[in-house]
Structure 1
């Protein structure tokens, strides 16, 4: 085959564009395209395989193979040479296809007479769309220019597939953004909502993959790259106060932005006929395919840097993406790979829900979503690739399921569920001012968790008796610098004012693990959940802890104040935190400032070790709050961020309940106020069991207070305790079935 010139490639791409612009359905276009490519490249066969579903490729058009095999020949991802190209995302070029490992003979196509095979992926920034194949009878290797030219053609086909150019009457032909898709992720925050997709970082749609004037496209690319390089330089010059690790990341950014190889490859793509935008996307797709296969963790980490740089460059070239003036749709549901707390707070309560590809149950985004009381689903893999702005979407935060572009039957059933929940909430509203008291008069105090000033209206609306946990880390996580003492004091004052005399338990800064401050050097820890976090950080950074304690005392301005220290593993940590708080109180008094009329100091019990602490610890604590989320993961040695194990162990396992009872008995003996704080406190079966065991304060999200109060008022906690004990005596590993059966008869 003769070497192809730049003009040959440009002519082919222009003819492709003309074919795509002609009237006709998707199948007609595909048929004309395969004929055009085979003719232009001088091959007997050209075939296009598109994904029918994420695991199945289908022959959708061919020139040279038997026509009756179209829409009949299918193969699994990784099966045969075509399947290997799709799975690896790299070309396969061979002069003897039948001798290649994994070759699959498909007799219905009649391809046995063709020896040579060249297949390249049709892909778009991590999204696998199909495979483009040319074959010849002559046994020969295709030249590097042929491979490169076919990759350029595949890039144009990827963009056309994205734009729906092949949607038509043919079975199995279409693009991925028009059919219903269900994503099964994990629950980050309970609740359900219906809305429209709002992409945090919208996909850039390349509408002009073919460039008519290479010189003009090169100039456009050069100008955009220069702006990108200037932006990166500005980021570095503005990072004077940033630690060395962050600066090294930005320097890597600058190195990539100034890469001559990157620029050279994109310029070569333009010479072959691509527009500047398509050239950027082609290199991005191929870099992604290569790095995703890399075994070196460092190289895999560079993938996100390359993606981010490419996306910035695409937005400069197209004017799409951020700051384009687009308005949020009605009932927006935010969809993103991941998002920081400050960015999520910027959207505020306008959001109906959040769906993330990454994230964790304890991440910044999860904390903010809980504070905003909106459903959150995490680990919804590839949803940013599939979703488009404005797509209808259903989010089931209870089950961790997302329906994108749902069918009518699914949408109607989902709306029925939302309506039933709304009706139940109306019934619970009637209980708002009534006590959570069982049939025998045993009273349970139901309080709420909070983390934002915006949470406080729920204190009155939900019927909560106070705030059992106010997370103070959000004010640190949403800033690019350490907040000032006066800023914190004003915030804490507004929280106490909004509580209108109801008690608020302020938890001191709980950072570390998956909550890393943007201005703090990340700790490379093999197991951060058991590493440098919470009170450990506070005691090692006494200046920050001291500043926060001063702010809390000044915010109280003489009013009662309750402060608890998180993640206490041994009594000495609590005593150190308590002494620091008392020193600040005495210092404020010496300066003539008002100090709390009543200061209560408590600890969060999140490690099993505290269950065996000496009596003096319990006597010193004014109150103890069981942090159920962390305690459960350490008790069962099951990382709550690990989906394979976090649901493996039951909160109502008798061993865990026995441990809780040990704490209850010890607190009763020392007259120490005890509460349970965590997701399980807001779940009906767990909450009723805790109350039956003797826990008299439960702290939960505001939306759970009504349902839990409703159940408590119908229950007999003494009777339920007997049922729990009977299940234990019978040797049951969990009391869940026994408690569920009891609740079903209420």
Structure 2
């Protein structure tokens, strides 16, 4: 019986494959396929539903239902039994479809006479393509073998859809890799770039979903699995220098690679007619759909292990992505699901832009992209499924939008934008050597943010007055182990040397939240942005913080040293960290090492609580730096990773500006220097408004210094202050419109 099932399945899959070679359009193929499946499974109905857009399924072909309903019947994701299959990625098998929860009756299809229903997802490695359905008049559940066989057929349909077998018809269904696509993501780093796609980990394309010789396919699979297992074992042999947690991760990796159940299921898929590659993808897709529904964080983490192992196995089977010798295009734009900081740094400034499916605005990749001044868009959902190496791509980091294979009119408009930005930067170059002084003679210090030695040449070319924020965590994030004190001291010394006397404010380690060190155990927290991060980690794990402070002291070589501690929420955190620094200075002096001639110690004000600390706290700080990105999200209770709320609240809201004024007043009363650091500091209108309210030091990315300086020099801060006061007195919720109207009149 099993042999007959395998024979029938292989026969059907071969007939499906032959359909690809049959002349005709995509609709003809779909119609022929539904007839073949219904006939093979002795079902009265076979229907194929494909996604017309990410939220809408459309009946694209049917054998047994009313033909007039094709391309007319549509449903939302999750709607009806078909929509449920699509949403969950799991089959539905019932002998009484109308009694199932969520059943939707569609009178135009004429399906009311069919009781039994079996629907399986058409999916490929996390990419949902549609749903395959068979129905019969008699009330019965389909057998387990029939369900499994239909899943195998759906896998082949997924590969055929991916290869474009059903495109080219007038309905425009499922056309991938051919037409212009726009992705709306999140701004990770501002800027605009045009280039060609370079996939960090190119997806493997399975061109032979059906296997002619099951035994030969099994041999291919077993040989590839053996090679994969040997590679994993080799990684473990070389893991002696790793810590316990890293080794545990590799052990879990090995256990999955040696799983007999995994290999057995793939062999069963091959017996039913799939090629070795298609069998790997089927099991990857099935497991992915199951794990994505899990609420267990550990199981969801294993999803990444499964994906990585499956992709390694596919590369072994196909040879794709292994020493292909392909070179980066002249204008590469990196496209990836995610990427580590070290890998991104390896590409360096050769990249014109970066587009990620995952990531966050505070992630390692975002920090490196800002350091390299590369436009970055994150949360570009499904772009790795759609993009191919060499595709034309436009990255609008300002708007968080990506255009893949754009139409010429879109590309021309985008090039005009880039040209205008380049022209503006040329004009700003003339301002490099002049101060940011307004018309009344008031001067604003404009500092730059940095995190790499490569940033330091920008200190001169941008016209910055110094480094207002040097992010020290990058040197920890790009290593697989904790850097040594000597390595850090040498780096910090080069930074101070390169600044040539200009001030540099070093921020101690800001890790935790979404910035987890490769050698640090991730902490499962319900709200990591408000969890164990920054100074909280430093005080709980003082060894690394002490080592970093020692490196900074030695790097100063007797010169001035400015250090600020991040994410201070209560004065005691600052006092404890400052006392630690002073003890390390005393210790270095007792060892006969040179110590800084002057030490300035500051705190980053990123939580509203700190603005209301006692005067004694402000008096104890040599300077305060407002961390605008975090402060704004906590002030408005609006997660900056959440696109639905992050743009909802305006920085120039009168309540937020009143709060900034409170901080300005507290610092002025205690003679404490104040600066504003964050994305808004580099936005000209916001920067000008902060300066008018009394914040006279702003720290931003180097490319923003020219535009901000230009606007300050053509404005009168006192007159703008009057505009702001008038707007607030009128009851305005935001001063943005009055400020922009005033600027337009100047």
- TM-score normalised by structure 2 residue count: 0.93
Distance of aligned partners of 1:512 and 1:101 in 2 relative to their CA distance in 1, 3 Å threshold: closer
1:576-725 correspondence runs (5 A):
576-725=576-725
Aligned equivalent of 2:398: 398
Q: Distance in 2 between matches of 1:212 and 1:230?
A: 28
1:258-407 → structure 2 map (5 Å cutoff): 258-321=258-321, 323-407=323-407
**Distance between the aligned counterparts of 2:60 and 2:548, measured in 1?**
64
Rounded Cα–Cα distance in structure 2 between residues aligned with 1:110 and 1:661: 68
Moved more, 609-618 or 553-562: 609-618
Which deviates more from structure 2 when the two are superposed, residues 116-125 or residues 705-714? 116-125
Question: 1:4 touches 1:146 (CA, 8 Å); kept in 2?
Answer: no
* 1:199-598 matches, cutoff 5 A: 199-240=199-240, 242=242, 244-321=244-321, 323-598=323-598
Distance 1:386 1:484, change over 3 A: same
Deviation at 1:170, TM superposition (A): 4.0
Decide which moves more: 711-720 or 128-137. 128-137
CA distance in 1, matches of 2:71, 2:742: 56
Cα shift readout 1:252-278 (whole Å, capped 9, x = no counterpart): 333322222222211111111111110
Partners in 2 of 1:637 and 1:87 — Cα distance? 31
Contact residue 558 and residue 594 of structure 2 kept, 8 A: yes
Give, in angstroms, the shift of residue 393 of structure 1. 2.0
Q: Where does 1:73-152 land on structure 2 (aligned, <5 Å)?
A: 73-97=73-97, 100=100, 102-106=102-106, 108-111=108-111, 114-137=114-137, 140-152=140-152
- How far did residue 724 of structure 1 move? 1.6
Q: Distance in 2 between matches of 1:394 and 1:571?
A: 46
CA positional deviation for 1:310: 1.9
The verdict on how the C-alpha distance between 1:108 and 1:370 changes in structure 2, with shifts beyond 3 A counting, is: same
In the superposition, relative to structure 1, how do residues 622 and 116 fare at CA in structure 2: closer, same or farther (>3 Å)? closer
- Structure 1 residues 11 and 423: CA distance shift in structure 2, 3 A: same
Deviation sequence 1:339-387 (CA, Å, 0-9, x none): 2211211111111222222222211111111111112222222222222
Distance of 1:536 and 1:39 partners within structure 2: 66
1:144-183 counterparts in 2 under 5 A? 144-183=144-183
Deviation of the 1:508 alpha carbon: 1.6
Superposition deviation, residue 480 in structure 1: 0.7
Q: CA deviation at 1:328?
A: 2.1
Taking a change above 3 Å as real, the CA distance of residues 674 and 136 of structure 1, as seen in their structure-2 partners, is closer
Q: CA deviation at 1:71?
A: 3.4
Q: Distance in 1 between matches of 2:331 and 2:494?
A: 29
Q: 2:195 maps to what in 1?
A: 195
CA distance in structure 1 between the aligned counterparts of 2:64 and 2:122, rounded to whole angstroms: 20
Q: Is the 8 A contact 1:186 1:401 kept in 2?
A: yes
Tell me the distance in 2 between the aligned counterparts of 1:552 and 1:221: 54
5+ residue gaps, structure 2, are none
Change (3 A) 1:406 1:562: same
Other structure's SS at 2:188 match: strand
SS at match of 1:511: coil
Q: Which moved more, 1:665-674 or 1:135-144?
A: 135-144
Secondary structure of the equivalent of 1:537? helix
2:66 pairs with 1:59: no
Cα distance between partner residues in 2 of 1:244 and 1:498: 39
Secondary structure of 1:61 counterpart: strand
Change in 2 beyond 3 A, CA 1:530/1:243: farther
Q: Compared with structure 1, are the counterparts of its residues 554 and 237 closer, same or farther at alpha carbon in structure 2 (3 Å cutoff)?
A: same
Moved over 6 A (4+): none
Distance 1:496 1:136, change over 3 A: same
Structure 1 residue 95: Cα displacement:
4.4
C-alpha spacing 1:95/1:543, structure 2 compared with 1 (3 Å): closer
Confirm or deny: 8 A CA contact 1:243 1:521 kept in the other structure: no
Question: How far apart in 2 are the matches of 1:2 and 1:617?
Answer: 78
Q: Deviations over 1:94-140 (max 9, x none)?
A: 44555655555555555555554433322111212223333445554
Distance 1:75 1:633, change over 3 A: closer
**Which moved further from structure 2: 455-464 or 310-319?**
310-319
- C-alpha displacement at 1:224, in angstroms? 1.9
TM-score (norm 1): 0.93
Deviates more, 1:403-412 or 1:473-482: 403-412
**Deviation, structure 1 residue 239:** 4.1
Q: CA RMSD in A?
A: 2.7
Contact 1:199–1:388 under 8 Å retained in 2:
yes
Q: Would you say the 8 A contact 1:4–1:145 is kept in 2?
A: no
In structure 2, distance between residues paired with 1:260 and 1:693? 67
Residues 1:370 and 1:33: Cα distance change in structure 2 (over 3 Å) = same
Q: 1:246: Cα distance to partner? A: 4.3
Call closer, same or farther: CA 1:726–1:74 in 2, change over 3 Å: closer
Matched pairs, number: 746
Residues 627, 678 of structure 1: 8 Å contact kept: yes
* Cα separation, partners in 2 of 1:4 and 1:300, compared to 1, 3 Å: farther
The residue number in structure 1 matching 2:6 is 6
Query: 1:283: how far off?
Result: 1.3
Aligned to 2:436, what secondary structure does the other structure show? Answer: coil
Q: Could you tell which deviates more after superposition, 145-154 or 210-219? A: 145-154
- Which residue of the partner structure matches residue 736 of structure 1? 736
Tell me by how many angstroms 1:735 deviates. Answer: 2.5
In the aligned structure 2, how far is the partner of 1:294 from the partner of 1:614? 47
* Alpha-carbon shift at residue 632 of structure 1 (Å): 2.5
Distance 1:702 1:373 in 2: 8
Gaps of 5+ in 1: none
Distance in structure 2 (CA, Å) of the matches to 1:135 and 1:351: 52
Distance apart, 1:521 and its partner CA: 2.6
SS of corresponding position for 2:314:
helix
Could you say if the C-alpha distance between residues 323 and 601 of structure 1 is closer, same or farther in structure 2, counting changes exceeding 3 Å? farther
8 Å contact from structure 1 (residues 188, 376) kept in 2: yes
Which deviates the most, 358-367 or 556-565?
Answer: 556-565
When residues 273 and 606 of structure 1 are mapped into structure 2, their CA distance, relative to the original with a 3 A threshold, is same
Please state whether the residue corresponding to 1:5 is helix, strand or coil. Answer: helix
CA contact (8 A) 2:51 2:174 kept: no
Q: Using a 3 Å threshold, how does the CA distance of structure 1 residues 596 and 146 change in structure 2: closer, same or farther?
A: same
Q: How many angstroms does 1:482 deviate by? A: 0.9
SS at match of 1:444: strand
How far apart are the structure 1 equivalents of 2:73 and 2:659? Answer: 60
